[in-house]
């Protein structure tokens, strides 16, 4: 078990590209932290620096109170699960899981015991003498997990471990990994580009964009009070509605002139208004909502259309009758978020 | 995969004809002739031949010189194969780690591949030239008087050296592409599992190179047995004398220098059977077993 602490960790590639701007955060003992962001946001680079697979350009990395910037990956007391599983194709499942222990001079009997234990935990007992090529995707994923847990590391690192699985298996493995992590209580860092995985698995989420940390918080904090328009539009499906508006005559007004919020400040100029689709009240208020398309999702419906010429989505429960055409909506004040149009930061 | 079939037998045969006719004219026909003449004693001047049955073969079995050459061929093949593979693997592993200038480094190593065997042999002759060959001088400074083409072991050394030098680039290319086809994440997983670099090489990299390695093993044995003819011919200058030679060179010497066509045919039939055995070994054992994915 360990506490991980990143202090101004920065990565610059030899070609001058800054993949990760100086980033700092701490991870508590036993915490499950998810790094999420779009492709190329630096989340994998950050994880690989923690693993020791990439050099850290500057900054301090501590695992369990020990500075590990220049420690070999094998000596950092970590275990990593890779996106394509990275199993050793020539070894049986048994040897795959036990390989890390064998190299740590663990006695043979103890390796056998631990491998059997891990295999039982992951329902792999019947497959121990098979080669990875004889396993399904989900089973390979489990072997990769087994290889990680058998070592009893201080820190688990997951690099998009579920992205090669089909949707059904992904949901199942998501729950299994989370349950396993809670049971073992091992501090974990999990990288994904899938915001659903991030929301469902994380104790805390770190949202990254263009090599910079946008926000750190619990799934609920990230969802309900996004720190920037990027987080607002990245987290949640469908994402938060973002509408351009103006401070004018003591109120925030849509371009059509409708006042949606009294503004206590004397501030003037453009502003970005954010609201989650499920907070929109259909059939109330006086904001015109022109619906183009109704998306039927069974448990609920999504109405896609425009407000004041800007794309907008509303979420309604399944009993609400809705058809394309002109509607009115109410945007409850408590649900509105205001962002600086220029910087995207929350006001 | 679904197989498309031909409705008539003539079209496939017609389509195979160009390839088949070349194989028939240049391989099956001469091979059949060789098998046939291996049972005859040919008159050196072409005035007919006498059927002698298996005499050409029994003669070989009892021939001390033939057995000596066969033994030399085994040792020569083993040395050439081992050193070609080992050096190429070493170079490939090192080249795989080169980041700056990787392309030019690889090209430089691969260049030797483009050198024809007799040219390689000729380069060897130059290097070991009696009066100004740099390698001869190097040996001299070590107190050894290196005499290519006269001293048996000196000539054998030069033959192995030039043959290995000629073969390393081919193996290098295969090993390098084999190394680069090992998934990066598998190596990284090993990096986390094992702190020792040599441990990682023998436990993970080497076994994953085994399919490439076994394929190259067969290729190299075949090379050392047969394709080194040009190198040997240049080094011994067609004057075998006391010099070492391989079985293939012996076929040439007996058949075209000694005009013993029957005996030489019997030798080439033996070699043919050897190649056949190697090929069967490769297909049956190696290609089926050493396969991971």
Per-window interface: B 210-269 vs A, CB < 8 A: 210
pLDDT in tens, A4-36: 999 999 999 988 899 999 999 999 999 999 999
- Domain limits of chain A? 4-234, 241-339
Residues 6+ apart with CB under 8 A from B207: A90
What is d(CA A314, CA A278) in angstroms, rounded to the nearest whole number? 6
List, as one string, the DSSP characters of B83-140: HHHHHHHHHHHHHHH--TTHHHHHHHHHGGGGS-HHHHHHHHHHHT-TTT-HHHHHHH
pTM of the model: 0.80
Instruction: Render pLDDT for B189-227 as a digit per residue (tens, 0 to 9).
Output: 999 999 898 999 999 999 999 888 988 998 899 899 988
Buried b (16+ CB within 10 A) or exposed e, A265-294: eeeeeebbbbbbbebbebeebebbbebeee
Q: Which of A339, A333, A337, A318 is closest to A223 using CA atoms?
A: A337
The band of B287, judged by pLDDT with boundaries at 50, 70 and 90, is low
Asked if A66 and A40 touch (Cβ cutoff 8 Å), the reply is: no
- The C-alpha angle with vertex B270 and arms to B269 and B275, in degrees rounded to 5, equals 95
B273 contact partners, CB below 8 Å, separation of at least 6: none
Question: Does B79 reach chain A within 8 Å, measured CB to CB?
Answer: no
Provide the shortest C-alpha distance from residue A88 to chain B (in Å). 6
Domains A4-234 and A241-339 share a fold: no
Q: Which residues of B touch A147 (CB under 8 A)?
A: 189, 193
d(CA B254, CA B195): 58
Q: Does B259 score more than 50 pLDDT? A: yes
Tokens of A62: 């501590």
Contact A86 B188 (CB under 8 A): yes
Mutate which of B99, B186, B192 to disrupt the A interface (most A C-beta within 10 Å)?
B192
Cα(A57)–Cα(A103) distance, integer angstroms = 29
Distance between CA atoms of residues B202 and B197, nearest Å? 9
Q: Which CATH class is domain B49-289?
A: mainly alpha
Condensed to tens digits (0 to 9), the pLDDT of residues B261-272 reads: 888 888 989 999
Q: Which residues of A touch B188 (CB under 8 A)?
A: 51, 53, 73, 80, 82, 86
Candidate from B185, B193, B210 with C-beta closest to A103: B193
Say what percent of chain B tops pLDDT 70.
Answer: 94
Q: Which pLDDT tens digit goes with each residue over A112-142?
A: 999 999 999 888 999 999 999 999 888 999 9
Contact B189 A79 (CB under 8 A): no
CATH of A241-339, one of 3.40.50.2300, 3.10.105.10, 3.30.450.20, 2.40.50.140: 2.40.50.140
Give the residue with greater pLDDT, B238 vs A262.
A262
| Facing A53 at nearest CB: one of B191, B194, B195 | B191
How far separated are the first and last CA of chain B, in Å rounded?
19
Residue written as tokens 């044995």? B221
Superfamily of domain A4-234: P-loop containing nucleotide triphosphate hydrolases (3.40.50.300)
Mutate one of A15, A82, A93 to test the B interface: name it (highest B CB count within 10 A). A82
């Amino acid at each position: 078990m360990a506490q991980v602490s990143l202090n101004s960790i920065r990565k610059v590639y030899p070609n001058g590209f800054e993949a990760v701007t100086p980033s700092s955060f701490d991870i508590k003992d036993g915490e499950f932290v998810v790094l999420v962001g779009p492709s190329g946001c630096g989340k994998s680079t950050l994880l690989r620096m923690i693993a020791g697979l990439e050099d850290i350009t500057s900054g301090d990395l501590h695992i369990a109170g020990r500075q590990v910037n220049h420690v070999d990956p094998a000596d950092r007391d970590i275990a990593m699960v890779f996106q394509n599983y990275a199993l050793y194709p020539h070894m049986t499942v048994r040897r795959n899981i036990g390989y890390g222990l064998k190299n740590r001079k663990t006695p043979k009997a103890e390796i056998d015991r631990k491998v059997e234990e891990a295999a039982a935990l992951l329902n792999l007992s019947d497959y121990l003498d098979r080669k990875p090529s004889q396993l399904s995707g989900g089973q390979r994923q489990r072997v990769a997990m087994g290889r990680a847990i058998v070592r009893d590391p201080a820190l688990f690192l997951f690099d998009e471990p579920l992205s090669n699985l089909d949707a059904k298996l992904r949901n199942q493995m998501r729950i299994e990994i989370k349950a396993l992590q809670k049971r073992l209580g091992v501090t974990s860092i999990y990288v994904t580009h899938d915001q659903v995985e991030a929301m469902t698995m994380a104790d805390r989420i770190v949202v990254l964009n263009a090599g910079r940390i946008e926000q750190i918080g619990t799934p609920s904090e990230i969802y309900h009070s996004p720190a920037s328009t990027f987080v607002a539009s990245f987290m949640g499906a469908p994402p938060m509605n973002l509408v351009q508006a103006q401070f004018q005559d003591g109120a925030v007004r849509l371009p059509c002139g409708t006042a949606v919020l009294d503004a206590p400040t004397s501030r003037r100029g453009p502003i970005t208004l954010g609201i989650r689709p499920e907070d929109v009240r259909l059939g109330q208020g006086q904001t015109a909502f022109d619906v183009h398309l109704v998306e039927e999702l069974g448990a609920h419906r999504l109405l896609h259309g425009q407000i004041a010429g800007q794309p907008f989505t509303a979420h309604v429960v399944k009993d609400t009758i809705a058809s394309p055409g002109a509607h009115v909506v109410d945007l409850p004040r408590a649900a509105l978020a205001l962002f600086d149009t220029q910087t995207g930061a929350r006001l | 995969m679904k197989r498309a079939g031909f409705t008539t037998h003539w079209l496939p045969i017609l389509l195979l004809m160009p390839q088949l006719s070349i194989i028939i004219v240049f391989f099956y026909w001469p091979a059949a002739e060789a098998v046939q003449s291996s049972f005859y004693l040919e008159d050196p001047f072409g005035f007919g031949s006498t059927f002698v049955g298996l005499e050409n073969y029994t003669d070989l079995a009892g021939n001390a010189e033939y057995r000596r050459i066969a033994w030399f061929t085994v040792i020569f093949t083993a040395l050439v194969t081992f050193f070609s593979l080992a050096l190429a693997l070493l170079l490939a592993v090192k080249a795989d780690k080169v980041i700056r200038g990787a392309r030019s480094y690889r090209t430089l190593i691969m260049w030797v591949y483009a050198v024809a065997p007799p040219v390689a042999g000729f380069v060897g002759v130059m290097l070991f030239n009696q009066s100004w060959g740099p390698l001869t001088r190097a040996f001299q400074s070590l107190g050894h008087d290196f005499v290519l083409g006269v001293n048996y072991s000196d000539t054998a050394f030069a033959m192995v050296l030039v043959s290995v030098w000629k073969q390393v680039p081919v193996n290098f290319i295969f090993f390098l592409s084999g190394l680069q086809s090992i998934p990066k994440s598998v190596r990284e997983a090993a990096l986390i599992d094992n702190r020792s670099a040599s441990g990682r090489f023998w436990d993970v990299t080497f076994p994953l190179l085994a399919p490439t390695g076994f394929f190259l093993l067969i290729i190299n044995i075949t090379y050392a047995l047969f394709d080194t003819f040009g190198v040997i011919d240049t080094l011994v200058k067609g004057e075998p004398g006391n010099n070492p030679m391989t079985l293939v060179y012996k076929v040439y010497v007996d058949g075209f220098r000694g005009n013993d066509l029957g005996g030489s045919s019997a030798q080439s039939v033996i070699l043919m059977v050897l190649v056949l055995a190697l090929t069967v070994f490769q297909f049956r054992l190696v290609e089926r077993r050493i396969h991971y994915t």
